[in-house]
Amino acid sequence: INRQFRTHSFWTTLILFPMMLSPAVVGNFWTLLFQPQIGPFNYVVAFFTGIPPTSFSMIGDVALAPWTIVLVDTWMWTPYVMLICLAGLRSIPDYIYEAAEVDRASPLRQFWSITLPMVTPFLMLAVLFRAIENFKMFDMVNLLTSGGPGSTTELASITLKREAFEKWNTGYSSAFAIILFVTVFGAANIYVKAPNQVKNR
C-alpha cells in the first residue's frame, strides 16, 4: 500500500474502514456474525468442518471467547497500526535507498539496515497507543461477551464498572482505578522513552 497504483485511494479507504467504526457498532456487528442460529460465521465453519452450526458458540465457549475478542480487535485496529507504519515508511528519504542500491545492497539488506530501524520508532508508537487502548477497551467486549462466559473475557474496565456501579464498592473501585491509572502512566512512560533510545542507537 506504500506504492502508488491506479486504485490506491480506493483500497486504502477500504482497508481503513474498520478503524472508522465505533466500538459499539463493531461489537453489535460481530455479535450478529457469531450468533449460532443466524450468524454466517458458524455456517462457514460448518461448511468446512461438517460440525452443525448450532452446536457451538464463539462468544459463549470458554475456550473460544478470548480468541473471538482477539479476532475482532485485530480486525478493527490493524488498519490503525498499518497507517502509522505507512507514515513511517513514507518518512524515509528516497536517497537512502538510492545510495544503498549504488552500494549493491540487496532488498533484504535494505530492509534490515534501513527500513526496519527507521520504522521502529513508529512501531513503538503504535504499540504505545494500542496498549493504552487495551486498558480503555470496554464497549466492544461488553457488547460481545459482557466479560463472560464466567470471567473469561473480563477486562479491567469491566471489572471496574461492576465494582463501582453494580456492587457499589466505591472504596475498592477507587483504589482499582488509581492502580489502573498508575499502570497506564508507567507503561506510557516506558514506551515514550524507548523510541528515543532506538533513535539514538
Percent of the chain with pLDDT over 90: 23
Residue 1 resides in a domain: no
pLDDT of residue 96: 92
pLDDT of residue 111: 92
Number of structural domains the chain divides into: 1
Average pLDDT over residues 135-164: 88
Q: Choose among 66, 91, 83: nearest CA to 154.
A: 66
Residue 149 resides in a domain: yes
Which residues, 6+ apart, have CB-to-CB distance to 21 below 8 Å? 29, 76
Average pLDDT over residues 27-41: 90
Average pLDDT over residues 6-25: 84
pLDDT of residue 69: 92
What's the domain range around 93? Answer: 8-200
Q: Choose among 28, 62, 24: nearest CA to 138.
A: 24
pLDDT at residue 178 is higher than 90: yes
Query: What rounded mean pLDDT belongs to the chain?
Result: 86
Average pLDDT over residues 113-141: 87
Percent of the chain with pLDDT over 70: 94
Residue 2 resides in a domain: no
pLDDT of residue 194: 65
pLDDT at residue 1 is higher than 70: no
CA distance 16 to 110: 28
- Percent of residues in the chain assigned helix, strand, coil, to nearest 5: 75, 0, 25
pLDDT of residue 201: 58
Residue 112 resides in a domain: yes
141 burial class (0-12, 13-18, 19+ CB within 10 angstroms)? buried
Residue 191 resides in a domain: yes
pLDDT at residue 47 is higher than 70: yes
Residue 79 resides in a domain: yes
Residue 3 resides in a domain: no
The position carrying cell 549493491 is: 104
- What CATH number is associated with residue 136? 1.10.3720.10
Residue 193 resides in a domain: yes
